[in-house]
Structure 1
Amino acid sequence: MGRILAIDFGEKRTGIAVTDELQIIASGLTTVDTKDLLSFLLDYVQKEKVDLFIVGEPKQMNNSESESEQYIQHFLTSLEKKIPNIPIKRIDERFTSKMAFQTMIDSGLKKKQRRNKALVDEISATIILQSYLYHK
Protein backbone atom coordinates (compact mmCIF):
# COMPACT_ATOMS: atom_id res chain seq x y z
CA MET A 1 0.00 0.00 0.00
CA GLY A 2 1.16 3.50 -0.74
CA ARG A 3 0.56 6.80 0.95
CA ILE A 4 -2.26 9.22 0.29
CA LEU A 5 -1.03 12.78 -0.22
CA ALA A 6 -3.31 15.78 0.40
CA ILE A 7 -2.83 19.22 -1.10
CA ASP A 8 -4.25 22.48 0.27
CA PHE A 9 -3.55 24.56 -2.84
CA GLY A 10 -2.89 28.27 -2.48
CA GLU A 11 -1.78 30.90 -4.96
CA LYS A 12 1.42 31.56 -2.98
CA ARG A 13 1.88 28.57 -0.65
CA THR A 14 0.53 25.06 -0.65
CA GLY A 15 0.14 22.87 2.41
CA ILE A 16 0.88 19.17 2.07
CA ALA A 17 -0.08 16.25 4.31
CA VAL A 18 0.42 12.50 3.92
CA THR A 19 -0.74 9.26 5.45
CA ASP A 20 1.40 6.45 6.71
CA GLU A 21 1.78 3.45 4.38
CA LEU A 22 -1.27 1.76 5.94
CA GLN A 23 -3.35 4.88 5.19
CA ILE A 24 -4.51 5.21 8.78
CA ILE A 25 -2.90 8.38 10.15
CA ALA A 26 -2.82 11.81 8.48
CA SER A 27 0.22 13.96 9.28
CA GLY A 28 1.34 17.35 8.08
CA LEU A 29 4.35 17.05 5.79
CA THR A 30 5.35 20.56 4.75
CA THR A 31 4.37 23.76 3.02
CA VAL A 32 5.95 24.60 -0.33
CA ASP A 33 5.91 27.67 -2.56
CA THR A 34 3.20 26.95 -5.11
CA LYS A 35 5.57 27.73 -7.96
CA ASP A 36 7.68 24.76 -6.79
CA LEU A 37 4.74 22.40 -6.12
CA LEU A 38 4.93 20.21 -9.23
CA SER A 39 8.67 19.65 -8.90
CA PHE A 40 8.21 18.86 -5.18
CA LEU A 41 5.51 16.29 -6.00
CA LEU A 42 7.58 14.73 -8.80
CA ASP A 43 10.49 14.35 -6.40
CA TYR A 44 8.28 13.00 -3.61
CA VAL A 45 6.65 10.29 -5.74
CA GLN A 46 10.11 9.14 -6.83
CA LYS A 47 11.01 8.51 -3.18
CA GLU A 48 7.65 7.34 -1.76
CA LYS A 49 4.83 5.20 -3.14
CA VAL A 50 1.73 7.37 -3.44
CA ASP A 51 -1.64 5.75 -4.28
CA LEU A 52 -3.80 8.87 -4.40
CA PHE A 53 -3.72 12.66 -4.43
CA ILE A 54 -6.44 14.46 -2.47
CA VAL A 55 -6.86 18.09 -3.50
CA GLY A 56 -8.94 20.54 -1.53
CA GLU A 57 -11.95 21.96 -3.33
CA PRO A 58 -12.74 25.47 -2.12
CA LYS A 59 -16.42 26.34 -2.34
CA GLN A 60 -18.54 29.32 -1.42
CA MET A 61 -21.25 28.96 1.20
CA ASN A 62 -23.85 28.55 -1.58
CA ASN A 63 -21.82 25.59 -2.93
CA SER A 64 -20.53 27.49 -5.99
CA GLU A 65 -16.85 27.48 -6.99
CA SER A 66 -14.52 29.89 -5.26
CA GLU A 67 -12.44 32.28 -7.33
CA SER A 68 -9.28 30.26 -6.63
CA GLU A 69 -10.73 27.22 -8.43
CA GLN A 70 -9.38 28.48 -11.77
CA TYR A 71 -5.81 28.26 -10.42
CA ILE A 72 -6.46 24.81 -8.99
CA GLN A 73 -7.83 23.58 -12.33
CA HIS A 74 -4.69 24.78 -14.10
CA PHE A 75 -2.56 22.97 -11.51
CA LEU A 76 -4.65 19.77 -11.82
CA THR A 77 -4.18 19.73 -15.59
CA SER A 78 -0.41 19.98 -15.11
CA LEU A 79 -0.42 17.35 -12.36
CA GLU A 80 -2.37 14.87 -14.51
CA LYS A 81 0.13 15.37 -17.36
CA LYS A 82 3.24 15.03 -15.17
CA ILE A 83 2.02 12.19 -12.93
CA PRO A 84 -0.74 10.43 -14.88
CA ASN A 85 -0.57 7.14 -12.97
CA ILE A 86 -1.78 8.54 -9.62
CA PRO A 87 -5.52 9.32 -9.39
CA ILE A 88 -6.80 12.62 -8.00
CA LYS A 89 -9.86 13.10 -5.78
CA ARG A 90 -11.31 16.40 -4.65
CA ILE A 91 -12.56 17.07 -1.11
CA ASP A 92 -14.59 20.05 0.08
CA GLU A 93 -12.23 22.26 2.04
CA ARG A 94 -14.66 24.82 3.44
CA PHE A 95 -13.70 25.97 6.94
CA THR A 96 -10.37 24.09 7.00
CA SER A 97 -8.36 27.29 7.53
CA LYS A 98 -10.60 28.28 10.44
CA MET A 99 -10.36 24.76 11.86
CA ALA A 100 -6.58 24.84 11.47
CA PHE A 101 -6.36 28.16 13.29
CA GLN A 102 -8.59 26.85 16.09
CA THR A 103 -6.42 23.74 16.31
CA MET A 104 -3.39 25.98 16.80
CA ILE A 105 -5.17 27.84 19.61
CA ASP A 106 -6.37 24.61 21.24
CA SER A 107 -2.87 23.14 21.14
CA GLY A 108 -1.50 26.12 23.03
CA LEU A 109 0.54 27.82 20.31
CA LYS A 110 1.44 31.39 21.16
CA LYS A 111 0.04 34.28 19.12
CA LYS A 112 3.31 34.75 17.24
CA GLN A 113 3.35 31.07 16.22
CA ARG A 114 -0.28 31.27 15.07
CA ARG A 115 0.68 34.00 12.57
CA ASN A 116 2.71 31.41 10.66
CA LYS A 117 0.53 31.06 7.56
CA ALA A 118 2.65 28.16 6.28
CA LEU A 119 1.74 26.19 9.41
CA VAL A 120 -1.95 27.01 8.90
CA ASP A 121 -1.69 25.66 5.32
CA GLU A 122 0.00 22.45 6.48
CA ILE A 123 -2.60 21.89 9.19
CA SER A 124 -5.38 22.61 6.66
CA ALA A 125 -3.97 19.93 4.35
CA THR A 126 -3.94 17.53 7.30
CA ILE A 127 -7.59 18.31 8.07
CA ILE A 128 -8.52 17.74 4.41
CA LEU A 129 -6.73 14.39 4.47
CA GLN A 130 -8.25 13.37 7.80
CA SER A 131 -11.70 14.23 6.43
CA TYR A 132 -11.08 11.97 3.44
CA LEU A 133 -9.87 9.11 5.65
CA TYR A 134 -12.90 9.48 7.91
CA HIS A 135 -15.35 9.31 4.99
CA LYS A 136 -13.69 6.72 2.74
Structure 2
Amino acid sequence: MSGPATGRVAAVDLGEVRCGIAISDTTTTIARPLEVVEEGELEKRLRELVDEQGVSVVVVGVPKTLRGERGHQAGRVLERIERMRRELPEVSFVEWDERLTTRIARGGGGRRGAVDHLAAAHMLQEYLWAGRR
Protein backbone atom coordinates (compact mmCIF):
# COMPACT_ATOMS: atom_id res chain seq x y z
CA MET A 1 0.00 0.00 0.00
CA SER A 2 1.44 3.37 -0.90
CA GLY A 3 0.80 6.46 1.20
CA PRO A 4 -2.16 7.16 3.44
CA ALA A 5 -5.47 6.14 2.00
CA THR A 6 -8.68 8.12 2.13
CA GLY A 7 -12.15 6.84 1.49
CA ARG A 8 -13.92 3.62 2.23
CA VAL A 9 -12.38 0.19 2.39
CA ALA A 10 -13.84 -2.84 0.64
CA ALA A 11 -12.97 -6.50 0.98
CA VAL A 12 -13.24 -9.34 -1.48
CA ASP A 13 -13.52 -13.05 -0.83
CA LEU A 14 -12.48 -14.47 -4.21
CA GLY A 15 -14.06 -17.65 -5.43
CA GLU A 16 -13.93 -19.56 -8.67
CA VAL A 17 -17.64 -18.96 -9.33
CA ARG A 18 -18.73 -16.24 -6.89
CA CYS A 19 -16.97 -13.43 -5.07
CA GLY A 20 -18.17 -11.91 -1.83
CA ILE A 21 -17.86 -8.18 -1.31
CA ALA A 22 -18.00 -6.20 1.93
CA ILE A 23 -17.61 -2.47 2.48
CA SER A 24 -16.76 -0.25 5.42
CA ASP A 25 -18.79 2.65 6.68
CA THR A 26 -17.51 6.15 5.88
CA THR A 27 -15.52 6.26 9.13
CA THR A 28 -13.79 2.95 8.26
CA THR A 29 -14.86 1.53 11.61
CA ILE A 30 -17.54 -1.02 10.78
CA ALA A 31 -17.61 -3.62 8.02
CA ARG A 32 -20.85 -4.78 6.47
CA PRO A 33 -21.53 -7.52 3.96
CA LEU A 34 -22.53 -6.00 0.65
CA GLU A 35 -23.21 -8.66 -1.96
CA VAL A 36 -22.12 -11.71 -3.87
CA VAL A 37 -21.24 -11.23 -7.55
CA GLU A 38 -20.32 -13.62 -10.31
CA GLU A 39 -16.55 -13.99 -10.64
CA GLY A 40 -16.53 -12.37 -14.10
CA GLU A 41 -18.30 -9.25 -12.82
CA LEU A 42 -15.89 -8.43 -9.99
CA GLU A 43 -13.74 -5.73 -11.59
CA LYS A 44 -16.81 -3.94 -12.99
CA ARG A 45 -18.44 -3.93 -9.55
CA LEU A 46 -15.24 -2.73 -7.86
CA ARG A 47 -15.03 0.12 -10.40
CA GLU A 48 -18.58 1.13 -9.43
CA LEU A 49 -17.67 1.06 -5.73
CA VAL A 50 -14.61 3.22 -6.37
CA ASP A 51 -16.62 5.74 -8.39
CA GLU A 52 -19.85 5.76 -6.37
CA GLN A 53 -18.79 4.92 -2.80
CA GLY A 54 -15.26 6.34 -2.71
CA VAL A 55 -13.50 3.02 -2.13
CA SER A 56 -9.73 3.56 -2.14
CA VAL A 57 -8.51 0.33 -0.54
CA VAL A 58 -9.55 -3.24 -1.31
CA VAL A 59 -8.57 -6.04 1.05
CA VAL A 60 -8.36 -9.37 -0.74
CA GLY A 61 -8.33 -12.68 1.07
CA VAL A 62 -5.37 -14.90 0.29
CA PRO A 63 -5.96 -18.50 1.35
CA LYS A 64 -3.23 -20.04 3.45
CA THR A 65 -2.91 -23.45 4.96
CA LEU A 66 -3.38 -23.85 8.71
CA ARG A 67 0.42 -23.79 8.91
CA GLY A 68 0.43 -20.33 7.28
CA GLU A 69 1.81 -21.46 3.94
CA ARG A 70 0.61 -20.42 0.50
CA GLY A 71 -0.54 -23.22 -1.75
CA HIS A 72 -1.85 -23.54 -5.30
CA GLN A 73 -5.08 -21.65 -4.56
CA ALA A 74 -3.12 -18.72 -3.08
CA GLY A 75 -1.11 -18.50 -6.29
CA ARG A 76 -4.31 -18.20 -8.30
CA VAL A 77 -5.56 -15.44 -5.99
CA LEU A 78 -2.27 -13.52 -6.19
CA GLU A 79 -2.46 -13.60 -9.99
CA ARG A 80 -6.00 -12.21 -9.80
CA ILE A 81 -4.86 -9.44 -7.46
CA GLU A 82 -2.24 -8.41 -10.02
CA ARG A 83 -4.95 -8.20 -12.71
CA MET A 84 -7.09 -6.03 -10.44
CA ARG A 85 -4.12 -3.76 -9.73
CA ARG A 86 -3.68 -3.21 -13.47
CA GLU A 87 -7.39 -2.52 -14.01
CA LEU A 88 -7.78 -0.25 -10.97
CA PRO A 89 -4.39 1.45 -10.55
CA GLU A 90 -5.76 4.17 -8.26
CA VAL A 91 -6.81 1.57 -5.68
CA SER A 92 -4.51 0.10 -3.04
CA PHE A 93 -4.89 -3.67 -2.82
CA VAL A 94 -4.01 -5.36 0.45
CA GLU A 95 -3.40 -9.10 0.71
CA TRP A 96 -5.03 -10.51 3.87
CA ASP A 97 -4.88 -13.95 5.44
CA GLU A 98 -8.38 -15.37 5.05
CA ARG A 99 -7.91 -18.62 6.93
CA LEU A 100 -11.21 -19.92 8.30
CA THR A 101 -13.29 -16.88 7.25
CA THR A 102 -15.74 -18.96 5.20
CA ARG A 103 -16.10 -21.50 8.02
CA ILE A 104 -16.74 -18.65 10.49
CA ALA A 105 -19.28 -17.11 8.09
CA ARG A 106 -21.11 -20.45 7.97
CA GLY A 107 -21.25 -20.56 11.74
CA GLY A 108 -18.61 -23.27 11.95
CA GLY A 109 -20.80 -25.81 10.23
CA GLY A 110 -21.71 -26.86 6.76
CA ARG A 111 -24.55 -24.38 6.29
CA ARG A 112 -25.20 -24.07 2.58
CA GLY A 113 -25.80 -20.96 0.56
CA ALA A 114 -23.77 -17.98 -0.49
CA VAL A 115 -21.79 -16.78 2.50
CA ASP A 116 -18.96 -15.21 0.52
CA HIS A 117 -20.05 -11.66 1.41
CA LEU A 118 -20.19 -12.64 5.10
CA ALA A 119 -16.66 -14.04 4.86
CA ALA A 120 -15.54 -10.79 3.20
CA ALA A 121 -17.16 -8.77 6.00
CA HIS A 122 -15.42 -10.83 8.67
CA MET A 123 -12.08 -10.35 6.93
CA LEU A 124 -12.68 -6.62 6.51
CA GLN A 125 -13.62 -6.20 10.15
CA GLU A 126 -10.37 -7.93 11.18
CA TYR A 127 -8.46 -5.52 8.92
CA LEU A 128 -10.24 -2.49 10.39
CA TRP A 129 -9.67 -3.69 13.97
CA ALA A 130 -6.00 -4.16 13.20
CA GLY A 131 -5.81 -0.47 12.34
CA ARG A 132 -4.12 -1.19 9.03
CA ARG A 133 -5.46 1.94 7.31
TM-score by length of 2: 0.87
Does 1:122 pair with 2:117? yes
Query: Match of 1:6?
Result: 11
Q: Find 1:31's aligned residue among 30, 36, 56.
A: 36
Q: After the TM superposition, which segments of 4 or more aligned residues of structure 1 sit over 4 Å from their partners? A: none
Superposed CA deviations along residues 24-82 of structure 1, whole A, max 9, x for unmatched, are 11000000011111111112212111121101111011221132223212221211111
Does 1:86 pair with 2:91? yes
Give distance in 1, aligned partners of 2:91 and 2:68: 27
Count of matched residue pairs: 126
Does 1:68 pair with 2:63? no
The answer (yes or no) to whether the contact 1:57–1:93 under 8 Å persists in 2 is yes
- Paired letter, 2:112: R
Q: Find 2:46's aligned residue among 33, 36, 41.
A: 41
Give distance in 1, aligned partners of 2:47 and 2:104: 29
**Structure (1/2) with the larger helix percentage:** 1
Query: Match of 1:59?
Result: 64
Give 3-state SS (helix, strand or coil) of 2:36's partner: strand
Q: CA RMSD in A?
A: 1.7
Unaligned runs of 5+ in 2: 1-5
Query: Match of 2:126?
Result: 131
Give distance in 1, aligned partners of 2:120 and 2:71: 17
The answer (yes or no) to whether the contact 2:8–2:55 under 8 Å persists in 1 is yes
The answer (yes or no) to whether the contact 1:11–1:71 under 8 Å persists in 2 is no
Does 1:97 pair with 2:102? yes
Give distance in 1, aligned partners of 2:22 and 2:75: 22
Please say which structure displays the higher CA radius of gyration: 1
Unaligned runs of 5+ in 1: 106-110
Superposed CA deviations along residues 75-125 of structure 1, whole A, max 9, x for unmatched, are 21211111111111111110111111117x8xxxxx9xx421x2x111100
TM-score by length of 1: 0.85
What percentage of aligned pairs have identical amino acids? Answer: 31
Query: Match of 1:108?
Result: none
Give distance in 2, aligned partners of 1:101 and 1:73: 25
- Paired letter, 1:47: E
